[in-house]
Structure 1
Amino acid sequence: MLARFFDRFGLAFVMVASYFGSGSVFIMSSAGVQFGYRLAWLVGLAVLIGIMAQDMSARIGIFGDSLGQFTQRKLGRTGATVLLGFISVGCLLWGLELTAAVGLGTQILLESTLGVSVGWMPVAVATGFLAAGLGILQYRLIEYVMTAMMVTLFLAFGVVAVVSSPEPLSLLRGALPSGTVLSPGGPALAAAILGTTALWPNFFLESLFVEEKGWTGPSDLSDMRFDLGMGYGLGGLASVSILVATAAVLRPAGITELESFITPGRALTDVLGTWAMLLFLGSTVIAAFNSIIPILWCPAYILQEAWGRAIQSSDPQKAGGAFRALFIGLCLVSGLSPLAYVFGGLSVLDMVVLFPAWNGVFGLPISAALLFWAVNDPETMGGHENSPWLNAANITLVVLAIGLSILSAQDVLSAILGGGL
């Protein structure tokens, strides 16, 4: 039964689980402790933007080429290589923060359970090697594991969000747009929320992976959209649950910033008991590790497309030697996150929050503009271009992405180059 379900659906779970790693956990937690419920509306908006973008990406794959092939065809080899190479830097930054999160989470977990002292840096390096090996396994296995971990984290924080009795009126006010994003620290956090939820690598991957589900024509649009609704519905609820849980439990206790890597876990511990910290650490480590694989799949695919090479298969196990070489190399480089700490002065927590924000500033608006161009290109869509109504909705994605990029770029760059938050 499970296999039959994943034969037809499940692609959106991979796309959502790839963003629902350590970045989402800490970014949503930071929003909760800093601003209470006041950024809940932005989380919902980010989810809607993600759905719109994934819908555009899937339609490009169903009716035309992948988004990477479209970019190469329109910009040529040199233009596509420069543009896709630039945004691929964001994937590498994501990889660095994720291996750092796995390293520090593992260090704390081993010290608290077994009394074993292991530094996070060697674990981070080893994580890069492990991701390189597992990332070229069968696509279906990755799909199962990522879905299971996302559901586990959702259930844990969902229970806390409910039993912590959040104030209904405050939560309702948080669902309405406000000027909170203009407060000190707000622009960078807003960029991080959008960057980690409307995950731009998924815009490229969805257009490739529709092949895995056999979605090839107009009759498959309903399945694709139902899949998106399931995946992003669950991911959005999980994100809001983290924000609500930390706002309801930690903020009233006087915690208004993330003091350490384990601060979000205290929201679980205060409600569920000390065992919940182990659940939090274990789930965060695995979720962070899971996210490394699809995020680094993206540049391994799109750089080949920029160079004009045909992708042999959208299944990573069958994608060919060039894909494997690129993916393995990116994973090994992502294991060098200790260098960002030693030479850049960035703590693990800095990386976890700021590197997704970088992608919100640069990768998201560029990818959103490419998407909008592609779904309105007759050559690509073959008569299935956007309708005026879809254009009206989709242009919102592009405008918001560009506007937020302009608003938050200075804060994000200053924090990264200035040694952290």
Structure 2
Amino acid sequence: MKNPFKISGPGVLIAAAFIGPGTVTACTKAGAQYGYVLLWAMVLSIIATIVLQEMAARIGLVTGKGLAAVIREHSASRIGKLLAVVLILSAIAIGNAAYEAGNISGGVLGIEALGISGSVGGKFNFWSVGIGALAAVLLFIGNYKFLERVLVALVLVMSVAFIVTAIVTKPDLALIFKGSLIPSIPKDGILSVIALVGTTVVPYNLFLHASLVSEKWQGSKDLTAARRDTYVAVILGGFVSMAIIICAAAMEGSAITNAADLAQSLEPLFGDYARYFVGLGLGAAGLTSAITAPLAAAYVVQGCLGWKADLKSARFRLVWGIILILGVVFSSLGYKPVAIIQFAQIANGILLPIIAGYLIWIANKEDLLGQYVNKTSQNIIGIIIWIIVFGLGLRSILSVLGLI
């Protein structure tokens, strides 16, 4: 830890997880439709992510257990334990399967943005199988340090691609600062705010982080290192997301619906290089999320069912394998993941406030964490974040159901 800005650790996997194709698309739409106005929503999302992920990492490091296991063990009654297990298993497992299709499809879009089509017969796309196979190989190796190095490399590729693209668009710095610091919701912009928060503050990342810290460090003595890792990686991820908004803002008013459109729209600014930078960034985003979503689901199932932590166990591999296969199937056969992504949004809207509530509750249990319980300031910030995610989650559910 001689270099305080070194990106190496579970924090990188968390950043890799939340900067997926969903984040790229949400940021692209926000920038294209509203310019720099919604940058504050991303700043808010990053603050919320740091606060919640720090709690999750602290719980995992002090207890030596995953978040799902801690919630299961400390629920007051059998009914409470059963309810917690069923809720977490169904929402995380099904939600991750839904998002996995979007992750792999996003990676395919990135490859095809480079001009390399994988479509066969108009429906089947072999790039989906290729991305799924690569993710499976990396997960099957079962070596945390190796997986960490791969994701560090992919995050760096993604970061350079999007940040360089943002710089080349020569953005207005004054407007960037204004959009980042002054909250403003334009007409019909609330759904974009919900999307930005929902794709950054991800429930499964809380479980993933609590489990991964024990793979990297040994107990509470390494809490300072874990916090530093979280802050640096999440803030870097936030800069990448903001860079995507800034890129899209350069084409404000254009008919941009996804990152592939963004690449095409930026070509007048700096030629074919737009396609390569955006393609590499989106491809890396898809692959990183295609790895972390199944991994998180496996950790959640392991914690809920009380399995021994082992990346190489057959049961652990079976869980992430099922999630990965479902994602490949839906992506490779050309199914548009809109319906399942909408279902995942409902699951996210229900799960995030509940998991955040569990997180704050456990982070205040002295019998579990001792001196490492939340400070008053952390509780105040945590409760404010909970109110915000509850309101946005409710709004997201009602919107998906067509009730507002």
User: Shared fold by TM > 0.5?
Assistant: yes
Cα distance in 1 for partners of 2:218, 2:190 equals 38
Distance of aligned partners of 1:338 and 1:234 in 2 relative to their CA distance in 1, 3 Å threshold: closer
Cα distance in 1 for partners of 2:95, 2:296 equals 11
Match of 1:419 in 2: none
Q: Percent identity?
A: 26
Match of 2:138 in 1: 134
| Pairwise CA distance, 1:153 | 2.4
Alignment of 1:99 onto 2:104: yes
Cα distance in 2 for partners of 1:355, 1:78 equals 23
Q: Which AA in structure 2 matches 1:388?
A: T
| Pairwise CA distance, 1:221 | 2.3
Distance of aligned partners of 1:281 and 1:351 in 2 relative to their CA distance in 1, 3 Å threshold: farther
Match of 2:211 in 1: 208
Cα distance in 2 for partners of 1:98, 1:300 equals 17
| Pairwise CA distance, 1:360 | 4.4
| Pairwise CA distance, 1:243 | 0.5
Match of 1:250 in 2: 251
Match of 2:385 in 1: 397
Instruction: Kindly report which structure 2 residues correspond to 1:107-256, keeping only aligned pairs within 5 A, or say none.
Output: 107-109=112-114, 112-113=115-116, 118=120, 119=122, 121-123=124-126, 124-137=128-141, 138-180=143-185, 183-184=187-188, 186-217=189-220, 219-247=221-249, 249-251=250-252, 254-256=253-255
Cα distance in 2 for partners of 1:157, 1:270 equals 17
Could you tell which deviates more after superposition, 157-166 or 283-292?
Answer: 157-166
Runs (5+) with no aligned partner, structure 1: 416-421
Cα distance in 1 for partners of 2:283, 2:344 equals 17
Q: Is the 2:66–2:211 contact (alpha carbons within 8 Å) kept by the matching residues of 1? A: yes
Cα distance in 2 for partners of 1:153, 1:198 equals 19
Match of 1:279 in 2: 277
| Pairwise CA distance, 1:187 | 3.3
Instruction: Kindly report which structure 2 residues correspond to 1:56-75, keeping only aligned pairs within 5 A, or say none.
Output: 56-64=55-63, 65-75=65-75
Cα distance in 2 for partners of 1:288, 1:276 equals 18
| Pairwise CA distance, 1:410 | 1.6
| Pairwise CA distance, 1:21 | 2.1
Cα distance in 2 for partners of 1:144, 1:74 equals 34
For 1:198, what is the secondary structure of its paired residue? Answer: coil
Report the number of matched residues: 394
Q: Is the 1:95–1:334 contact (alpha carbons within 8 Å) kept by the matching residues of 2? A: yes
For 2:37, what is the secondary structure of its paired residue? Answer: coil
For 1:175, what is the secondary structure of its paired residue? Answer: helix
| Pairwise CA distance, 1:216 | 0.8
TM-score (normalizing by structure 1): 0.84
For 1:287, what is the secondary structure of its paired residue? Answer: helix
Match of 1:31 in 2: 30
Alignment of 1:410 onto 2:398: yes
TM-score (normalizing by structure 2): 0.87
| Pairwise CA distance, 1:189 | 2.4
For 1:37, what is the secondary structure of its paired residue? Answer: coil
The correspondence for 1:83, drawn from 82, 87, 94, is 87
Q: Which AA in structure 2 matches 1:297?
A: L
Could you tell which deviates more after superposition, 269-278 or 62-71?
Answer: 269-278
| Pairwise CA distance, 1:353 | 7.5
Cα distance in 2 for partners of 1:202, 1:73 equals 20
| Pairwise CA distance, 1:381 | 1.3
| Pairwise CA distance, 1:74 | 3.2
Q: Which AA in structure 2 matches 1:149?
A: L
Match of 1:385 in 2: 373
Runs (5+) with no aligned partner, structure 2: none
Cα distance in 1 for partners of 2:105, 2:132 equals 10
